[in-house]
Structure 1
């Protein structure tokens, strides 16, 4: 939206003039100016705590209403039922969107969040802020990539208990670049089930259009696979990356 961008630029120019003139500026003013200037208005976010059934809980849907794919660095703040921030709760991500690891095509992307700290069961929503973002070349994704794990003998490992490779299938008309995360959930019988561990499985991989690619498991992920695979609900998820 042009108006907010112009307002943010005005704040930044006023701040710069003030700094050059030697006047005092509070840290809060600097933070607000930088946050406004770096906000990407093309992105919007929707948090779902409990998706119901066997669907993944605590998901943040990231919609991209712009004309280009972007690589954002996001900040997540837990909110209570009144919309008040909960600074005592730390928010972690499965795919690393808070470190700029996720690409958001114009078709959108998603993230899984984890809340750690006393009172995390009181979290009702999350506030998402775009700290910075940059445009990138990434195709529109009609169908999300699928993953299938295999053990050392080449047999499918449907419980992700002892797999050594993952086949990623891309049914789209363009090649896509993905990374993989091995995610294990707590396995609660009721309520939102948050993930307890998320570790990268391999390197950045380009999956050809209407084709597949095999990713070898990084040795560093084996400890988590042995500890959680076959004992908790687990999955290997492909996410758009760079």
Structure 2
């Protein structure tokens, strides 16, 4: 499995006007299957945005093997929603996480990206990632592997941001195969986090059920991402 391969990027769906076309041209992508560093998430799509604005892209993907040949039976989807308009990409570099399914899913070494549409985000995204901390019912910090009931979000930036939170369960692949998200559950909804401040999201409903199923398991993450 290749560690970091440059993408071929087709720009499409820019017919909404010159502004949309310019935003599309400002986006570039790199797929990183495995960075080679411990504790680093696999199957990341790096999104570089040079527009100077926060952008909401809608992308589509084609899976490619190590010889850059198409894998037409592999479906590509995302964790944060760059394929459905729920991820806000700030100026600079941000990421989404790709998921592969179907015959040949373990042969994916790269992806081809098509930009279907772009728009300027209604809510600008921060430069730094909003961090997450699992809390128990009393507000005490606990491990994400435990059965937590709240998530504290921390914003380092000097502007308020809006994020969504995903509870991600990972598979345990054999050596040489990239790890991917097998279950993704939203925690709460769109949440405002004040500048240089924190917010707390309650874990209820489907999220609480997912945490109950997978607590004390081997591989879970709590990830916040810019959204609107």
TM-score range, shorter chain: 0.7 to 0.9
Using CA pairs under 8 Å that are at least 6 residues apart, name the structure with larger relative contact order, 1 or 2. 2
Q: 1:158 to 1:34 in 2, by over 3 A?
A: closer
Provide the rounded CA distance (Å) in 2 between the counterparts of 1:34 and 1:209: 35
Q: Structure 2 matches for 1:138-177, cutoff 5 A?
A: 138-139=123-124, 141-177=126-162
Question: Which residue of the other structure, out of 15, 37, 56, is the alignment partner of 1:37?
Answer: 15
Aligned partner of 2:30 in structure 1 is 46
1:95 counterpart = 2:80? yes
Q: CA deviation at 1:138?
A: 4.2
User: TM-score with structure 2 length normalisation?
Assistant: 0.85
The structure carrying a bigger strand percent of its residues is 2
* CA offsets 1:181-208 (integer angstroms, 9 cap, x no match): 0011113363321111111111111111
Question: Aligned Cα RMSD in Å?
Answer: 2.0
Q: Structure 2 matches for 1:67-106, cutoff 5 A?
A: 67-106=52-91
The structure carrying a bigger helix percent of its residues is 1
Q: CA deviation at 1:46?
A: 0.5
Provide the rounded CA distance (Å) in 2 between the counterparts of 1:145 and 1:67: 20
Aligned length: 211
Question: Which residue of the other structure, out of 125, 130, 136, is the alignment partner of 2:121?
Answer: 136
Aligned partner of 2:182 in structure 1 is 196
**Structure 2 unmatched runs, 5+:** 1-9
Q: CA deviation at 1:112?
A: 0.5
